[in-house]
Chains A and B, each alone.
Chain A
Amino acid sequence: MISDLLYRLRSLFQRRSVESELQDELQFHLDNEIEKLLRAGVPPAEAARRARLAFGGRDQVKEECRDERGVNFIENLGRDVMFAARLLRMNPSFTAVALLSLALGIGANTAIFQLLDAVRLRDLPVKAPAELQEVVIGGDGPFGNFTSRYAHLSSAQWDQLQVMQQAYSSLGAWTARPFNLASGGETRPAEGILVSGHFFETLGVDTARGRILDASDDQKGCGAPVAVISQSFWQREFGGAPDAVGRSLRLDGHPVTVVGITSPSFFGVEVGRSYDVAVPLCAETLVKGPDSQLTIKRHNYWLSAIGRLRAGWSAERADAHLRTISKPLFTASSPPDATPDQAKRYQEMRLKAEPAGKGLSWLRVNYERALWLLLGSAGLVLLVACGNLANLLLARASARTHEVAVRMALGASRGRLVRQLLTESLLLALVGAGLGLLLASAVSQSLVSLLVTADDRVALGTSIDWRVLTFSMGVGLFTCLLFGLAPALWASRVEASAAFAGARRGTGSRGRSAFRSFLVSAQVALSLVLVAGAMLFGRSLYKLLGSDVGFRPEKVLVTSLDTRRLGFSEDRQKVLFVTLLDRLRATPGVIQAAHSTIIPMSGWESNTSIDLGGGKSIGTRFSPVSSGYFATLGTPILAGRDFGNEDSEKSQPVAIVNEAFAVKYFPGVDVVGQTFPSPFKAKQICRIVGLVKNTKYVKLQEDFTPITFFPSSQLFFTGNYARYVVRSQLPAAELTRAIRESVASVSPSIDIEFIQLDQELRESVARERLLAALAGGFGLLAGFLAAVGLYGVLSYSVATRRSEIGIRMALGADRRMVMRLVLREAGWLLLVGAVAGIIVTLAAGRAASSLLYGLQPNDPLTLVAAVSALGLVGLASSYLPARYAARLDPLTALRQE
């Protein structure tokens, strides 16, 4: 084995001496043979001839010897690469076109793959991520109040879970909570997480400095809490100061001491966000005061639990174990004031284990399908680009017929020629992939910024890891085979005798031009899929933005007030928020203002079930709002009245419902005046006093659902935050300045955030926007590439049919007939492509249906539009070759043959 290797290496690196040895050896043989013949009395000239005959072709023997030495492969590869590079340098325009299409195609694929990699494929940078699981509630899911992004468990359930479970060797809980670092003036937000004592231990997170938080930090009523910060926050906030550990931070005005900095790669468990500060879960009491979800509101859902599987436990076993402890766990943790109906629902809830090794991500839930679809589209664009490259290479192969024939006549084998031609494609593909990779790293970050909205800061690392590298190089190799193999095989199908037939100018064989036509039709088909897709997503977005939301979002400013720094009790908060509303209404330029717990389209949602008694209950979304809410948003009140001053805490509970509610739960009767048991106040009857037009609640895509509005004077739900909707004709900058002044006159310690309601609306369709933009780009690119392909094939076809056209013209065909001849060919190619494209589009459409709004993937109008658009582009691109054919001078055309 080793001797074999040494032998090959010597042959490779001492090539010159090995070659001359080979030459000497063979010469020695011939000399001896000639001598022998001379001794037998053969005349010298004859002896030399016979010796050569007996020996055979000396160069061939040498080549075979080189093959046997096993160096030919590597040597030839090197030579092929040099040769290919020289050829590519000699054809700069071809090379530029090829590299550009490849770089664009591979770059688009890689960029989208990078996103997918970041969102879906990458493991959390922690110890043995495959052992991590998140404990959630499956089945119909939990019901109640949800107060965080990953609100899967309540404190009561978390306490029970820690005691009852045996599946995990270590179990931690966390919740996201934004902090304000400033102690006065402008808000300085920080991404905070509250973590239980075993959270870091469960994940196996290393520290760069100091220590991690452990169980000793998370004790009930922890007085002076400690914090661990992320590497990036350390750089940003402390400028990477070495003495940061031990220093103090103010979170919502409370001082905490930094005790450690986590390792640079750790960003938390939420993919798409990067945490800044982690404090023990017990600190929640401190920052939330009497409102704590650890004590008073211990039935709010706000925690996410992550466990590390005990050694020897499989994921299935853990899941089964969780199911068996579900009933006792939920029985023990259900709220004492639950109605019998609710208690039954609690007991029916089931725990479930989900893999958490890749982290948690709303981004993944929202975007994964769209990203796979976009990756597929980018793949199609690359295929269309490959079609063009294959066509270019085929044309070049025809032009190189003579060269190939000469090489064959000189003894090159077909395999050897194919290998050399493929090397050229390989070189193109790899350089293209390299450029694509560079392009992708530039593009993927701007794609990430497309995902960012005011509500969601997205921090996604899209660095190039081995997966991305493998992907782009793999795509490169695949495309190389795709566009290089067929032309190489065709090119090597030349008879050696062609070298002497004077076939210097390429004569496309029938098979070859049929193949090129096939390629173009395939390109048209694939482009049609992409163009139709682009139109579908474009129209879908357009429909979404134009859809009836039930209110007028223009000129409505959402004002969010954060009063945490005041540290008021709930009772004082209630008074404060009413005062603030009065101030807002009195602000100059404000037409109308109202309080609203849930801002439509902001992504927040509250729902509840109303117990009708007798085991019957109805589900509804709800939102506590103040009087004037409907007038501010421009939602018409269809019947009854708005909330007013008469609806106080002491008066009878009232509600306003929307049409969907009325139709679903009170069909055929006048809903105003109907009553139902209040879901929030035991033993009280809630009376419906108004009916409003349907409005969208969470997203534009949704259908109208039953919504119940309660007066916020009767149902106080907001804690330390209050959100107001303000309608005004003032320019945004002027209005926000006026509002800041009004709020500051109440208290300077109230933090304010603004967002335009129509911006909120636009951002709720960020995914649709991304899809429409990228699909549109891909559609344009593919259409353009297909047009170029069609142009190329027709031009080539006209060039090879010059004499035929000349003869036709000489026989009396006029220019229009010649044009028709060419256009007919184009028409056929387009028709075949369009038919195939429609079939593929219909088949592929199903993948897109869940991402479309208001239209089906087989929408006939879209298909017709896509076919017409592509047809027009196709005919336009065939016009040039057709005109060229029509302008041929029959005499010149014939003379050249």
Chain B
Amino acid sequence: MNKDRVDLPQGTLDLLILKALGLEPLHGWAVSERLQQISSDALQVGQGSLYPALHRLERRGWIKAEWGITDNNRKAKYYHLTAAGRKQLKAEEEAWRKLAGVVGQVLDMG
């Protein structure tokens, strides 16, 4: 277990999922693996909490689900970004960078 694990701030999980799906369509487990890989296991994402988030994003129309076949021939539900989702990702990314920058500046003052 990694001692430096970070709890996700509210609402960030949606951004991370959108980012992960921005590269290619993935099924749920793959999204979970991808998040862990990218963050080098530093992010504490409960595997279970991923799914309500996916369903929420789907309801908002930012991602869409389709059943597909995996490499080892199993049926899996693949999620991909919609046009609206791409726009949302861009907007959230910018907002996040801005916030992070400002917070960083404030912290650097001391």
Q: Is A55 an interface residue (CB 8 A)?
A: yes
Q: How far is the CA of A54 from the CA of B52 in the complex (A)?
A: 16
Q: How far is the CA of A65 from the CA of B56 in the complex (A)?
A: 8
Q: Which residues of B contact A21 (CB under 8 A)?
A: 67, 77
A65 and B55 within 8 A (CB): yes
A7 and B28 within 8 A (CB): no
Q: How far is the CA of A841 from the CA of B60 in the complex (A)?
A: 57
Cβ of A29 to closest chain B Cβ, rounded Å: 4
Given contacts A24-B77, A25-B28, contact A54 B59 (CB under 8 A): no
Q: How far is the CA of A64 from the CA of B54 in the complex (A)?
A: 11
Q: Is A67 an interface residue (CB 8 A)?
A: yes
Q: Is B97 an interface residue (CB 8 A)?
A: no
Interface stretch of the complex, out of B42-50, B87-95, B101-109: B42-50
Q: How far is the CA of A58 from the CA of B48 in the complex (A)?
A: 7
Cβ of A571 to closest chain B Cβ, rounded Å: 93
Given contacts A56-B46, A68-B56, contact A26 B51 (CB under 8 A): yes
A7, A29, A58, A60 — most chain B CB neighbours (10 Å): A29
Q: How far is the CA of A205 from the CA of B53 in the complex (A)?
A: 62
A56 and B49 within 8 A (CB): yes
Q: How far is the CA of A67 from the CA of B55 in the complex (A)?
A: 9
Q: Is B75 an interface residue (CB 8 A)?
A: yes
Q: Is B96 an interface residue (CB 8 A)?
A: no
Given contacts A24-B77, A28-B76, A28-B77, contact A55 B55 (CB under 8 A): no
- Residues facing A in B21-62 (CB within 8 A) are 27-29, 32, 46-49, 51-53, 55-56, 58-61
Q: Which residues of A contact B3 (CB under 8 A)?
A: none
B51 and A7 within 8 A (CB): no
B29 and A69 within 8 A (CB): no
Cβ of A27 to closest chain B Cβ, rounded Å: 10
Secondary structure at the A interface, as helix, strand, loop or mixed, is helix
A56 and B29 within 8 A (CB): no
Cβ of B59 to closest chain A Cβ, rounded Å: 5
Secondary structure at the B interface, as helix, strand, loop or mixed, is helix
A64 and B52 within 8 A (CB): yes
Q: How far is the CA of A395 from the CA of B81 in the complex (A)?
A: 54
- Residues facing A in B66-89 (CB within 8 A) are 67, 74-77
Q: How far is the CA of A529 from the CA of B46 in the complex (A)?
A: 61
A55 and B74 within 8 A (CB): no
Q: Is A777 an interface residue (CB 8 A)?
A: no
A28 and B27 within 8 A (CB): yes
Q: How far is the CA of A801 from the CA of B74 in the complex (A)?
A: 65
Q: Is A454 an interface residue (CB 8 A)?
A: no
Q: Which residues of B contact A54 (CB under 8 A)?
A: 47
Q: How far is the CA of A3 from the CA of B60 in the complex (A)?
A: 8
Cβ of B34 to closest chain A Cβ, rounded Å: 13
A61 and B29 within 8 A (CB): no
Q: Which residues of A contact B76 (CB under 8 A)?
A: 25, 28
A4 and B55 within 8 A (CB): no
Minimal Cβ-Cβ distance residue in B for A64:
B52
A4 and B28 within 8 A (CB): no
Q: How far is the CA of A15 from the CA of B77 in the complex (A)?
A: 17
B52 and A68 within 8 A (CB): yes
B47 and A7 within 8 A (CB): no
Q: How far is the CA of A338 from the CA of B35 in the complex (A)?
A: 103
Q: How far is the CA of A25 from the CA of B56 in the complex (A)?
A: 15
A25 and B52 within 8 A (CB): no
- Binary interface profile of A, 783-805, with partner B (CB < 8 Å = 1, else 0)? 00000000000000000000000
Partner pick for A28 among B46, B48, B60, B74, CB 8 A cutoff: B74
Q: How far is the CA of A25 from the CA of B55 in the complex (A)?
A: 11
Q: Which residues of A contact B77 (CB under 8 A)?
A: 21, 24-25, 28
Given contacts A28-B27, A28-B29, A65-B55, contact A57 B60 (CB under 8 A): no
| Count: A-B pairs, CB below 8 Å | 63
A56 and B48 within 8 A (CB): yes
Q: Which residues of B contact A68 (CB under 8 A)?
A: 52-53, 55-56, 59
B61 and A55 within 8 A (CB): no
Q: Which residues of B contact A758 (CB under 8 A)?
A: none
- Residues facing B in A47-79 (CB within 8 A) are 54-58, 60-61, 64-65, 67-70
A4 and B29 within 8 A (CB): no
Cβ of B77 to closest chain A Cβ, rounded Å: 5
Q: How far is the CA of A67 from the CA of B59 in the complex (A)?
A: 11
Q: Which residues of B contact A25 (CB under 8 A)?
A: 27-28, 51, 76-77
Q: How many of chain A's residues have a CB under 8 angstroms from any CB in B?
A: 26
Q: Is A8 an interface residue (CB 8 A)?
A: yes
Cβ of A56 to closest chain B Cβ, rounded Å: 3
- Binary interface profile of A, 1-18, with partner B (CB < 8 Å = 1, else 0)? 001100110000000000
Q: Which residues of A contact B51 (CB under 8 A)?
A: 25-26, 29, 61, 64-65
Given contacts A4-B59, A7-B58, A28-B74, contact A67 B52 (CB under 8 A): yes
Minimal Cβ-Cβ distance residue in B for A5:
B59
Q: Which residues of A contact B61 (CB under 8 A)?
A: 3-4, 7
Cβ of B13 to closest chain A Cβ, rounded Å: 12
A4 and B60 within 8 A (CB): yes
Q: Which residues of B contact A56 (CB under 8 A)?
A: 46-49
Q: Which residues of B contact A31 (CB under 8 A)?
A: 74
Cβ of A288 to closest chain B Cβ, rounded Å: 78
B59 and A28 within 8 A (CB): no
Q: Which residues of B contact A60 (CB under 8 A)?
A: 48
Minimal Cβ-Cβ distance residue in A for B46:
A56
Q: Is A470 an interface residue (CB 8 A)?
A: no
Minimal Cβ-Cβ distance residue in B for A71:
B59
A33 and B47 within 8 A (CB): yes
B52 and A61 within 8 A (CB): yes
Q: How far is the CA of A33 from the CA of B51 in the complex (A)?
A: 15
Cβ of B65 to closest chain A Cβ, rounded Å: 9
Q: Is A497 an interface residue (CB 8 A)?
A: no
Q: Is A32 an interface residue (CB 8 A)?
A: yes
Q: How far is the CA of A28 from the CA of B49 in the complex (A)?
A: 15
Q: How far is the CA of A54 from the CA of B47 in the complex (A)?
A: 6
Q: Which residues of B contact A3 (CB under 8 A)?
A: 61
Q: How far is the CA of A21 from the CA of B58 in the complex (A)?
A: 14
Minimal Cβ-Cβ distance residue in B for A58:
B48
- Binary interface profile of A, 33-45, with partner B (CB < 8 Å = 1, else 0)? 1000000000000
Partner pick for B59 among A29, A32, A58, A70, CB 8 A cutoff: A70
Q: How far is the CA of A68 from the CA of B53 in the complex (A)?
A: 8
Q: How far is the CA of A29 from the CA of B49 in the complex (A)?
A: 12
B29 and A8 within 8 A (CB): no
Q: How far is the CA of A653 from the CA of B51 in the complex (A)?
A: 105
Given contacts A24-B75, A24-B77, A56-B46, contact A65 B52 (CB under 8 A): yes
Q: Which residues of A contact B59 (CB under 8 A)?
A: 4, 7-8, 68-70
Q: How far is the CA of A659 from the CA of B59 in the complex (A)?
A: 88
Minimal Cβ-Cβ distance residue in B for A57:
B48
- Residues facing B in A578-618 (CB within 8 A) are none
B32 and A29 within 8 A (CB): yes
Q: How far is the CA of A67 from the CA of B77 in the complex (A)?
A: 19
Partner pick for A32 among B29, B53, B58, B60, CB 8 A cutoff: B29
Given contacts A28-B74, A68-B59, A69-B55, contact A55 B29 (CB under 8 A): no
Minimal Cβ-Cβ distance residue in A for B52:
A64
B52 and A28 within 8 A (CB): no
Q: Which residues of A contact B60 (CB under 8 A)?
A: 4
Give 22 pairs: A residue, B residue, CB < 8 Å, sorted on A: A3-B61, A4-B59, A4-B60, A7-B61, A21-B67, A24-B75, A24-B77, A25-B27, A25-B28, A25-B77, A26-B51, A28-B28, A28-B76, A29-B29, A29-B51, A55-B47, A58-B48, A61-B48, A64-B49, A65-B52, A65-B55, A68-B59
Nearest first, the 10 A-B pairs at minimum CB distance are A56-B48, A64-B52, A68-B55, A68-B56, A32-B29, A61-B48, A3-B61, A29-B29, A68-B52, A55-B47
Could you list 11 further interchain pairs (A-B, Cβ under 8 angstroms) beyond the known A21-B67, A25-B27, A61-B48?
A: A4-B61, A25-B76, A28-B75, A28-B77, A29-B28, A31-B74, A56-B46, A61-B51, A68-B52, A69-B59, A70-B59
